[in-house]
Structure 1
């Protein structure tokens, strides 16, 4: 069994896809991150980045068992799911979790997204075996040698279990789940679509404490956020952070590395690079996510993989 927890970024933009010459370096697909832990594959969000990920997974030519975690159910985090090829394959097992007021909320949203009025193929037409469940913040998702299940606590679990804890952020309209994925003493926190405000989200800081990697929303520059950028209105209250807000959380939580995520689709590559530079001033171990970027964690040491921009044909 591979002893490394690996992270790969397939979509790093927010709001809507942004293809074009100005987004070549960081990529234009919307949110999708792949986590590999002990042979298990966990997918965070199903923006358009899940489409090339699905093609890559099909190259493995074996039955697939996958977990998909939705941070929330806004369109830019679900829009790639109808085009996710493994979901149409009968020998694929999909465990799908996300937020909702009832256990059926995620399923109902996915069904609506693929209703006859909006898409030619329904959720039922996807031939994979699907477990779809809305979970609560107080619950823990466990994937161990036996199965995938939702439990009330993380006590008494195998050291080989992948354990996923949940923190609900209320800074984004409708609320967003922040996930902490842990395996063999290594942990990754995925905090997209959250807004720092003044003084940070102290509950998020506590939730992310000592994480090896913090993936944090950093959609806007400080000038854009405060309405001081020509041509752009203030975005305070929109539920998204700046690079400095993300860096403040990483510094306060003493995380190993900060990955800036959910870049504004209007920002060309040089603007995203400027966000990265700003974050480094406060938290030196910061980087801006780009499509194809990989990070490997082993023995609580972080090794940046030598991966450049990967074009997904």
Structure 2
């Protein structure tokens, strides 16, 4: 199994001279099994560049797993060119939103409305199937097994564990480590604390021992202090997750949109200095980075 980053940016695309090295496209990760089965995690703007590489090998079957439906994780979906050609099969996986009671098909249907896009959903030529994933229920895609787990974010958000060919990875999507919203003297403090402990154990079990852990690390500790509750992690929380899960390699992604190449280079140097025991297992994700597991 191997994977490749096509988009590593969070919130909004950031093209320009200051983001050339790490890339300015939003979240998209390609996974290939040894049988060449195609799994795609999220459909940010990075999926457009991925699509260009697929046109010469059509017809294709693509399995797209959406972590959540915030714009930066789905905005490339209407530009995934294989959806416009017959004989292609596109399977789009996502959750049932408990607030709207809508399935993942709503993401593409809304994007292809007349007011937002020039092509109607009825004009798509590929065979598109929408499939609902549920927490803890493993989905088989060819030789791969994908297991979703709900992670904390201000919308339904799945992290995915992917296992195939004797290797494994876990991708968090957007994730902020939950904290107790009650004070110790409040009636609900202890019960909520117990819930957090159990949830943390569930998260650790889902990530445990993976060959690659890919995490949302949008903020520094200083930035997080004024952004708590926005649904994103920090560099420190990402490293903590990797250590607790005994992950073999950690990839930090979902770079904050104002973060320049120089900023990320500096942060990477500082992280390696602060965690010398982790240096050979720590990576800052960039577009085009390809990893064989």
Quickly say closer, same or farther: Cα 1:58–1:116, change in 2 above 3 A.
Answer: same
Aligned Cα root-mean-square deviation (Å): 1.7
1:194 and 1:275 mapped to 2: Cα distance?
Answer: 20
- For the 8 Å contact 2:218–2:256, the answer to whether it is kept is yes
1:196 and 1:166 mapped to 2: Cα distance?
Answer: 17
**CA distances 1:103-153 after superposition (whole Å, capped 9, x unpaired):** 851112210111111111122221100111222113211022xxxxxxxxx
* 1:240 paired residue among 226, 232, 239: 232
3-state DSSP of counterpart to 1:105: coil
* 1:259 paired residue among 245, 251, 269: 251
- For the 8 Å contact 1:72–1:98, the answer to whether it is kept is yes
2:107 and 2:77 mapped to 1: Cα distance?
Answer: 12
- For the 8 Å contact 2:211–2:249, the answer to whether it is kept is yes
Q: What does residue 39 of structure 2 align with? A: 42
Instruction: Kindly state the Cα deviation for residue 278 of structure 1 after the two structures are TM-superposed.
Output: 4.2
* 2:169 paired residue among 185, 188, 209: 188
Instruction: Kindly state the Cα deviation for residue 185 of structure 1 after the two structures are TM-superposed.
Output: 1.8
Task: Give structure 1 stretches of 5+ with no counterpart.
Answer: 145-160, 227-233, 298-313
1:216 and 1:44 mapped to 2: Cα distance?
Answer: 13
1:201 and 1:43 mapped to 2: Cα distance?
Answer: 26
- For the 8 Å contact 1:65–1:94, the answer to whether it is kept is yes
**CA distances 1:169-200 after superposition (whole Å, capped 9, x unpaired):** 1x210131000110122001011210135699
Displaced runs of 4+ in structure 1, greater than 4 A?
Answer: 197-200
1:100 and 1:275 mapped to 2: Cα distance?
Answer: 37
User: Where do 1:212-227 residues align within 5 Å?
Assistant: 212-226=211-225
Higher relative contact order (CA 8 A, sep 6+): 2
Task: Give structure 2 stretches of 5+ with no counterpart.
Answer: 180-196
TM-score (norm 2): 0.87
Instruction: Kindly state the Cα deviation for residue 59 of structure 1 after the two structures are TM-superposed.
Output: 2.5
**CA distances 1:226-247 after superposition (whole Å, capped 9, x unpaired):** 2xxxxxxx11111101111000
Instruction: Kindly state the Cα deviation for residue 44 of structure 1 after the two structures are TM-superposed.
Output: 0.5
1:273 and 1:296 mapped to 2: Cα distance?
Answer: 23
- For the 8 Å contact 1:192–1:261, the answer to whether it is kept is no
2:171 is the counterpart of 1:179: no
1:245 and 1:106 mapped to 2: Cα distance?
Answer: 29
* 1:58 paired residue among 55, 59, 71: 55
Instruction: Kindly state the Cα deviation for residue 42 of structure 1 after the two structures are TM-superposed.
Output: 0.4
1:163 and 1:101 mapped to 2: Cα distance?
Answer: 23
Higher helix share: 2
- For the 8 Å contact 2:42–2:74, the answer to whether it is kept is yes
2:74 is the counterpart of 1:78: yes
3-state DSSP of counterpart to 1:142: strand
Quickly say closer, same or farther: Cα 1:270–1:185, change in 2 above 3 A.
Answer: same
2:166 is the counterpart of 1:167: no
* 1:21 paired residue among 17, 20, 23: 17
3-state DSSP of counterpart to 2:39: strand
* 1:110 paired residue among 108, 124, 149: 108
**CA distances 1:203-227 after superposition (whole Å, capped 9, x unpaired):** 222210000000000011111112x
1:295 and 1:182 mapped to 2: Cα distance?
Answer: 15
